[in-house]
């Protein structure tokens, strides 16, 4: 994989995207009403969201694994090429 250096404008956009995404996660997980220690913080939001997304993604992959397209797309994204049929 070849790394590309971002232009200052791209770097600024990337940082703005991260800030907006974290605010989205803050709202999604209702951090304003979280228990003491987490309320008003962004601590652990990415990890919590990744775990939740992962759980949902795995459930969906299992549910639809018999579809060749789902199986092939997942294997391609994971870098695994298996001839095993469903």
Say if residues 25 and 46 touch (Cβ distance below 8 Å): yes
Q: pLDDT (tens digit, 9 = 90+) per residue, 25-42?
A: 999 999 999 999 889 898
| Confidence label for 82 from pLDDT (cuts 50, 70 and 90) | low
pLDDT for 86 beyond 50:
no
Please give the pLDDT value at position 29: 92
pLDDT for 62 beyond 50:
yes
Helical (H) or strand (E) element with 80: none
Rounded CA-CA distance 14/12 in Å is: 5
For 6-10, 22-26, 58-62, which range has the lowest pLDDT when averaged over its residues? 58-62
Q: What proportion of the chain, given as a percentage, has pLDDT over 70?
A: 92
Q: What is the dihedral of CA 47, 49, 55, 56, to 10 degrees?
A: -160
**Arithmetic mean of pLDDT, 52-77:** 83
């Amino acid at each position: 994989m070849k790394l590309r250096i971002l232009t200052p404008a791209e770097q600024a956009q990337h940082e703005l995207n991260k800030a907006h995404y974290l605010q989205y996660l803050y709202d999604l997980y209702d951090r304003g009403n979280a228990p003491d220690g987490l309320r008003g913080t962004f601590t652990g939001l990415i990890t919590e969201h990744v775990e939740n997304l992962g759980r949902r993604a795995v459930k969906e992959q299992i549910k639809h694994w018999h579809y060749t397209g789902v199986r092939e797309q997942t294997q391609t994204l994971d870098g695994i090429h298996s001839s095993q049929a469903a």
